[in-house]
A = this chain, B = another copy of it.
């Protein structure tokens, strides 16, 4: 096991009828920005519950944060936070709203020029932010219990991430009943998103970390078991709750302590979203099988362990088991209605060099857990997934 630090002070409030606790969680003595996305919270009752829980609070609403939240939109909220001296931001929505609010919270107190810089320049640190809390409406990204945020800039077709303890939510309310009204596509995306978050922290090389490995496998197995139940019956509270908790645990830092991490699938996937606006989870479902193939030697021991413990694949040659393991992963994603080939999204071979050029232009030095995935291999990954 490698040395690590783990710090996650997010107060998780989980279960039915928990939104009503907002009045004890949100500070009463400051202006609150209530931030949300499109109209879903008006249709599923969450907006009404939030408003009912905060009588007498000084709320300023900011709606319209879009999927893959856009810098251009978020900067409008930053102006309001500064102008109106907002003291707390309440994000009500899925990962995009939460990520957007983290950017708003950090950007509002950023004093070194354009806030976009802390996304493009990894040496810059976000040290302070307006305090924030969240009401999650879509299990998927894990943003409710971490300090990460991904923002897209339309003008440059870029999708970039930043991490900071300053944007860790003070609290997150997780009410599984929000799942009841989710469309099938969002549930499927959420399951695959959480699944690949685990894989990025798990499917690397062994460092003798049995707790982290087994916790990761626990989440994967739970997603494989509970995901289809949620898709089959959106009103199954237990399945919704288990899916929601799995998605949070998938990316709150715990399973990633003391182990190598990959994240190549995410980095390549972000380009598919940046250029073609493909849903984040779907980009992961496209890229991951290719990464598994191209890096099968690098990841050999963990691929075999993953195949055995998650999919029960324990006979045949090592190569045959790895093939079966990759096939099982692909079948799982496809069974949720998520295609894993670029052609299914109308993307052809021309695109591959566009992606590769972008990585090269950024002064690419290799990605993945060993930093040895080359631009040529990125092209191979995408070619496999045409």
Q: How far is the CB of A13 from chain B (nearest CB, A)?
A: 5
CB–CB B14/A4 < 8 A: yes
Tell me which of A87-95, A114-122, A241-249, A272-280 binds B.
A241-249
In the complex, whether A27 has a CB less than 8 A from a CB of chain B is: no
A222 to B225, CA, bound (A): 23
Tell me which of A203-211, A323-331, A351-359 binds B.
A203-211
CB–CB B12/A9 < 8 A: no
CB–CB A246/B211 < 8 A: yes
Interface string of A258-280 (1 = CB under 8 A from B): 10000000000000000000000
Interface string of A1-30 (1 = CB under 8 A from B): 111111111111111111000000000000
CB–CB B242/A1 < 8 A: yes
CB–CB B6/A242 < 8 A: no
Residue of B whose beta carbon sits closest to that of A238: B208
CB–CB B242/A209 < 8 A: yes
CB–CB A242/B208 < 8 A: yes
CB–CB B242/A210 < 8 A: yes
In the complex, whether A257 has a CB less than 8 A from a CB of chain B is: yes
Seed contacts A210-B222, A211-B245; 10 additional CB < 8 Å A-B pairs? A1-B15, A2-B15, A3-B17, A9-B9, A15-B258, A209-B242, A210-B221, A210-B225, A215-B218, A218-B218
Partner of A5, one of B8, B14, B218: B14
A219 to B213, CA, bound (A): 11
**Chain A residues within 8 Å of chain B by Cβ, number:** 40
Question: A7 and B2 in contact (CB under 8 A), knowing A211-B246, A242-B210, A249-B211?
Answer: no
Residues of chain B contacted by A13 (CB below 8 angstroms): 5
In the complex, whether A214 has a CB less than 8 A from a CB of chain B is: yes
A254 to B215, CA, bound (A): 12
5 contacts between A and B (CB under 8 A): A1-B15, A3-B14, A4-B12, A4-B14, A7-B9
Interface string of A52-84 (1 = CB under 8 A from B): 000000000000000000000000000000000
In the complex, whether A99 has a CB less than 8 A from a CB of chain B is: no
Q: How far is the CB of A360 from chain B (nearest CB, A)?
A: 36
CB–CB A7/B12 < 8 A: yes
Residues of chain B contacted by A12 (CB below 8 angstroms): 4-7
Residue of B whose beta carbon sits closest to that of A245: B211
In the complex, whether A226 has a CB less than 8 A from a CB of chain B is: yes
A246 to B213, CA, bound (A): 12
CB–CB A211/B3 < 8 A: no
Question: A257 and B14 in contact (CB under 8 A), knowing A218-B218, A241-B1, A242-B1?
Answer: yes
Residue of B whose beta carbon sits closest to that of A226: B210
Residues of chain B contacted by A15 (CB below 8 angstroms): 1-4, 258
Residue of B whose beta carbon sits closest to that of A209: B242
Residues of chain B contacted by A222 (CB below 8 angstroms): 210-211, 214
Q: How far is the CB of A67 from chain B (nearest CB, A)?
A: 27
A63 to B209, CA, bound (A): 35
Q: Give A164-212 interface residues, CB cut-off 8 Å to B.
A: 208-211
A2 to B15, CA, bound (A): 7
Residue of B whose beta carbon sits closest to that of A145: B6
Residues of chain B contacted by A16 (CB below 8 angstroms): 3
Enumerate the 10 nearest inter-chain pairs by beta-carbon distance, A residue then B residue, closest first: A3-B15, A9-B9, A214-B218, A208-B238, A7-B11, A6-B12, A1-B241, A210-B222, A4-B14, A5-B13
